[in-house]
Amino acid sequence: MSIGLSLVLLLLGAFCSVLFAALFQRQFETSFVRLFKQRYSSKSVRDISGLWITQYKYQVKDSNGQLNERIETQIVRFKQKRNLVYGETVDAEEHPEVFEGKITMDRYFTGQYLNILNHQNYHGAFQFVLASGKERMRGKWIGFDDYGEVNCDEWRWVQYCSAKEIDKDMIQKAKKTSRLVDLFEDKQFKQYNNWAQQQNTEKSGVSASLTRK
């Protein structure tokens, strides 16, 4: 076999290898995208729009450099279009925020938050698991602090009322309730049903079983 023919066959083999690799990669990417869509897209999307009471933990350094745990309480209003969710704080103790996320598999809510007052420092991501049959969720946030460190801690949510029920009076009632509840008391958190409906039924402002100790 001549040197010229051997060179041609070698180049042809290399070309075929590159072509096969490109076709295989394209087929793999197409299959991966199809599998991802089948797994994480849903025809019936869980609706979490409405007014939510939420609390999250975070650490603050004192003058001695010691970390002290704090709990931030907020009232957040969510709006939803299909599986895309947008939210904003309507009442907060210190850190008003906006939210953007996506619901997958009718159970997971993943997205990012941004502090309205200081978005350059206080921003990050979150992932929550929606409780089955209950309008509550829990998970964790992750984000930067003033010292350039990445922190993470727990975040809990309960829905106060649906989007259709929101008005100025309902927001005021939610604010009063948020000052009394402790979502990190497990028994209280797990027994949650529908605070707005319960308050209207009892006509007592807030149930004793849902108040902070």
The predicted structure's pLDDT at residue 194: 55
In contact, 83 and 109? CB cutoff 8 Å:
no
The predicted structure's pLDDT at residue 205: 46
The predicted structure's pLDDT at residue 25: 63
CA distance 103 to 127: 10
Mean pLDDT by runs of 10 across the 213 residues of the chain is 57 57 59 51 78 93 84 96 96 92 95 84 91 90 84 95 90 91 85 59 46 44
Instruction: Specify the DSSP class assigned to residue 42.
Output: -
The predicted structure's pLDDT at residue 12: 60
The predicted structure's pLDDT at residue 197: 56
- Does domain 50-210 correspond to CATH entry 2.60.40? no
pTM: 0.72
The predicted structure's pLDDT at residue 62: 81
Q: How far is CA 113 from CA 28, 92, 96, 140, 167, in A?
A: 33, 14, 10, 12, 24
Helix and strand numbers (H, E) in the chain are 4, 8
The predicted structure's pLDDT at residue 42: 47
The predicted structure's pLDDT at residue 189: 79
CA distance 103 to 107: 7
- DSSP β-ladder status, 123-130 and 150-162: unpaired
